[in-house]
């Protein structure tokens, strides 16, 4: 391939479109009145994200490499990208009234979300360690900024700063791991690395192993898995709630996608080495997520531990994918994991929409006890939140139950019984704090009701998410087949 050949841009069309659109909205914002700019950027960015989803769908056609093999699109990338973009769009939609209330409704917010989304898409499509790093940093930098978007609030600033410093440490670990891998193998390209490890009979050199551990640590930070989770509760609590909603979903899904690609792709043949680590991280996350959440009074902190736990459940799928010997079981693991992530996305977006509605006299409420008696003051909202909580706790027949069922089932098939048993036990403990929220809403005496009325965007988000969770059991086909295709694309044969 001649160096000068112009790369094929079609596979990267969604990313290119996002980049151009983000810059365009930035320009519009800079050169127009503040109020108009914010509104244009807000709705514009949602439209841009929707169009990007369309583009992702359009370019989906088998596995295509471009940019000298550093960028890849395949059904897996498409699946994860669509989820990421939906999550980002929903986060922007939810944010408007919050931003207005707190007088921080600036056009930069949606633009930064777009840039973060761009970074996420690049992460998902990365087929080279350098591309991976570029995407990761782009989304991280954008997120650091919006975490401290509420500049007047010390809590928001503290959250942003903590996220930034710890993120930098994680980046350092990642980069260090990448240099080790490059140093011992001589390449950064995933395909070449995969071939290398597949061909060598002696196994990978120690340096590569150490490098892989560092890379795992860096990625585990992004999905806030134990023991790299410490930033999560603080940042979730301090960041403006719509940002938390974004942080809890979109980057998690993208980073999980990246995690899967890295582990099953270039390092797939080293699974004997990393599977133990994933199992450990998975168990630690499930257990900590279950126990630490019990003591929380702030609902955002609680959601932070909840997402730590959910990442642990999702990682079961990755651990199963590391079980060499049976491709069918490996594929089941990935399949379960992707379904789990999709359901996680829906549940979390719905829950955060509810949290964003916890307003009294124009002020945001974050204490769980502020939900007391919600069933009497706002029965519809209480019912919807109950659906989400039951689903998170994994109670049949809601979607959350099926998600857990798939990953546990794959763990059983892979004969990882310990993992499955601990997972079930952890979800029993976890059920406690989800159900406590339901109890507070239905059995405690109401104080003042929450502010109404609920805006159209919120209503539609809550409605759609609630219906998906409720009715998933009747119509799981589309999601399952999408996840099927996605997981099939990753595994050889």
Partner 1 sequence: MYTAAVFLPLIGSFIAGILTFAGGVANEKTKKKIDRGSQLATVGAMLLAAVAATFAFIDIVVHANTGNVELFTWVSSGTLEFSWALRGDTLALVMLLMVTWISSMIHIYSIGYMSHDKSIPRFMAYLSLFTFFMLMLVTSNNLVQLFFGWEGVGLASYLLIGFWYEKQSACAAAIKAFVVNRVGDFGFVLGIFATFVLFDSISFDTIFGLAEDKSQATMSVFGGDFHALTVICLMLFVGAMGKSAQLGLHTWLPDAMEGPTPVSALIHAATMVTAGVFMVARLSPLFEYSDTALTVVTVVGGSTAIFAATVGCVQNDIKRVIAYSTCSQLGYMFFALGVSAYSAGVFHLVTHAFFKALLFLGAGSVIHAMSDEQDMRNMGGLWRLIPVTYVLMWIGSLALAGVWPFSGFYSKDTILESAWGAGTEVGYYAFWMGIGAAFLTAFYSWRLLIMTFHGESRADEVTLAHVHESPKVMILPLIFLAMGALFVGFLTFDFFVGQHTKSFWGNSLLILDSHPALENAHQSPLWVILLPSVAGVSGITLAYLMYMLAPDLPAALASGFQRTYRFLLNKWYFDELYDRIFVRPCFLLGHGFWKSGDGALIDGVGPDGVASAVRDIARRASALQSGFLYHYAFAMLLGVAALITWFLVARG
User: Among residues 59, 169, 405, 431, which is the contact residue for partner 1, using CB under 8 A?
Assistant: 169
475, two tokens: 């119509």
User: Among residues 71, 221, 267, 434, which is the contact residue for partner 1, using CB under 8 A?
Assistant: 221
Q: Tell me which stretch binds partner 1 (CB under 8 A): 88-96, 215-223, 347-355, 402-410.
A: 215-223
Beta carbon of residue 180, minimum distance to partner 1 (angstroms, whole number): 11
- Whose Cβ is closer to partner 1: residue 429's or residue 480's? 429
User: Among residues 175, 196, 277, 424, which is the contact residue for partner 1, using CB under 8 A?
Assistant: 277
257 and 77 Cβ atoms separated by less than 8 Å? yes
117, two tokens: 């989304």
Q: Given the structure tokens 């999905």, which residue do they identify?
A: 223
Under the binding rule (CB under 8 A), the answer on residue 234 touching partner 1 is yes
Say how far apart CA 312 and CA 372 lie, in whole Å: 30
Beta carbon of residue 231, minimum distance to partner 1 (angstroms, whole number): 6
User: Among residues 16, 64, 213, 467, which is the contact residue for partner 1, using CB under 8 A?
Assistant: 213
Q: Tell me which stretch binds partner 1 (CB under 8 A): 18-26, 99-107, 158-166, 408-416.
A: 158-166
Paired sense of beta strands 64-66 and 363-364, if any = unpaired
385, two tokens: 């939140």
Residue count, binding to partner 1 (CB under 8 A):
34
User: Among residues 230, 421, 471, 473, which is the contact residue for partner 1, using CB under 8 A?
Assistant: 230
Helix (H) or strand (E) holding 462: helix 456-471
Numbers of helices and strands, H then E, in the chain: 19, 4
Q: Given the structure tokens 């994933």, which residue do they identify?
A: 278
- Whose Cβ is closer to partner 1: residue 11's or residue 312's? 312
Q: Tell me which stretch binds partner 1 (CB under 8 A): 52-60, 116-124, 188-196, 290-298.
A: 290-298
> 411-430 mask for partner 1 (x: CB under 8 A)?
------------------x-
User: Among residues 40, 153, 273, 455, which is the contact residue for partner 1, using CB under 8 A?
Assistant: 273
Under the binding rule (CB under 8 A), the answer on residue 442 touching partner 1 is no
Other beta carbons within 10 angstroms of residue 411's beta carbon come to 30
Under the binding rule (CB under 8 A), the answer on residue 231 touching partner 1 is yes
Q: Within 292-331, which residues bind partner 1 (CB under 8 A)?
A: 292-296
Say how far apart CA 305 and CA 283 lie, in whole Å: 14
Under the binding rule (CB under 8 A), the answer on residue 179 touching partner 1 is no
Say how far apart CA 215 and CA 489 lie, in whole Å: 23
User: Among residues 112, 173, 245, 382, which is the contact residue for partner 1, using CB under 8 A?
Assistant: 173
Q: Given the structure tokens 């109020």, which residue do they identify?
A: 35
7 and 66 Cβ atoms separated by less than 8 Å? yes
Say how far apart CA 240 and CA 159 lie, in whole Å: 9
Other beta carbons within 10 angstroms of residue 145's beta carbon come to 18
61, two tokens: 């056609």
Under the binding rule (CB under 8 A), the answer on residue 217 touching partner 1 is yes
Q: Which of 354, 208, 227 is nearest to 280 (CA)?
A: 227
User: Among residues 276, 324, 460, 481, which is the contact residue for partner 1, using CB under 8 A?
Assistant: 276
Say how far apart CA 165 and CA 140 lie, in whole Å: 11
Q: By the criterion CB under 8 A, which residues form the site for partner 1?
A: 161-162, 165-166, 169-170, 173, 206, 209-210, 213-214, 216-217, 221, 227-228, 230-231, 233-234, 273, 276-277, 280, 288, 291-296, 429, 432
């Amino acid at each position: 391939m001649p160096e000068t050949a112009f790369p094929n841009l079609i596979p990267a069309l969604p990313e290119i479109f996002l980049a151009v659109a983000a810059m365009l909205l930035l320009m519009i914002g800079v050169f127009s009145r503040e109020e108009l700019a914010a509104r244009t950027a807000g709705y514009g960015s949602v439209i841009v994200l929707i169009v990007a989803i369309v583009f992702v769908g359009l370019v989906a056609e088998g596995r295509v490499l471009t940019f000298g093999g550093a960028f890849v699109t395949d059904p897996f990338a498409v699946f994860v990208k669509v989820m990421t973009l939906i999550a980002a769009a929903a986060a922007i939609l939810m944010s408007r009234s919050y931003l207005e209330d707190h007088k921080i409704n600036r056009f930069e917010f949606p633009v930064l979300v777009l840039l973060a989304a761009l970074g996420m898409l690049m992460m998902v499509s990365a087929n080279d360690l350098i591309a991976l790093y570029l995407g990761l940093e782009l989304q991280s930098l954008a997120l650091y900024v919006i975490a401290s978007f509420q500049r007047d609030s010390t809590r928001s600033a503290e959250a942003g700063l903590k996220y930034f410093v710890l993120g930098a440490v994680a980046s350092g670990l990642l980069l260090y791991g990448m240099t080790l891998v490059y140093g011992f193998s001589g390449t950064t390209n995933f395909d070449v690395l995969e071939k290398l490890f597949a061909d060598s009979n002696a196994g990978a050199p120690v340096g590569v192993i150490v490098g892989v551990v560092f890379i795992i640590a860096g990625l585990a930070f992004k999905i806030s898995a134990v023991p790299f989770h410490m930033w999560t509760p603080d940042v979730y609590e301090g960041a403006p709630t719509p940002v938390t909603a974004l942080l809890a979903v979109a980057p998690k899904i993208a980073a999980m996608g990246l995690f899967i690609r890295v582990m099953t792709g270039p390092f797939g043949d080293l699974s004997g080495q990393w599977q133990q680590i994933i199992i450990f991280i998975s168990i630690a996350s499930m257990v900590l997520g279950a126990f630490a959440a019990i003591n929380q009074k702030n609902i955002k902190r609680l959601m932070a531990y909840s997402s730590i736990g959910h990442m642990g459940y999702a990682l079961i799928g990755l651990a199963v994918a590391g079980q060499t010997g049976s491709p069918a079981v490996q594929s089941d693991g990935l399949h379960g994991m992707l379904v789990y992530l999709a359901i996680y996305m829906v549940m979390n977006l719905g829950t955060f929409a509810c949290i964003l509605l916890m307003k009294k006299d124009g002020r945001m409420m974050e204490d769980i006890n502020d939900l007391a008696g919600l069933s009497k003051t706002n029965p519809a909202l209480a019912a919807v939140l109950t659906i989400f909580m039951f689903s998170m706790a994994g109670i049949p027949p809601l979607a959350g139950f099926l998600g857990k069922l798939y990953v546990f089932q794959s763990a059983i098939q892979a004969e990882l019984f310990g993992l499955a048993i601990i997972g079930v036990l952890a979800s029993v403990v976890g059920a406690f704090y989800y159900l406590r929220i339901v109890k507070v809403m239905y059995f405690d005496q109401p104080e003042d009701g929450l502010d109404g009325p609920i805006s159209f965007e919120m209503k539609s988000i809550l409605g759609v998410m609630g219906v998906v969770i409720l009715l998933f059991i009747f119509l799981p086909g589309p999601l399952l087949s999408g996840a099927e295709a996605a997981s099939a694309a990753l595994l050889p044969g």
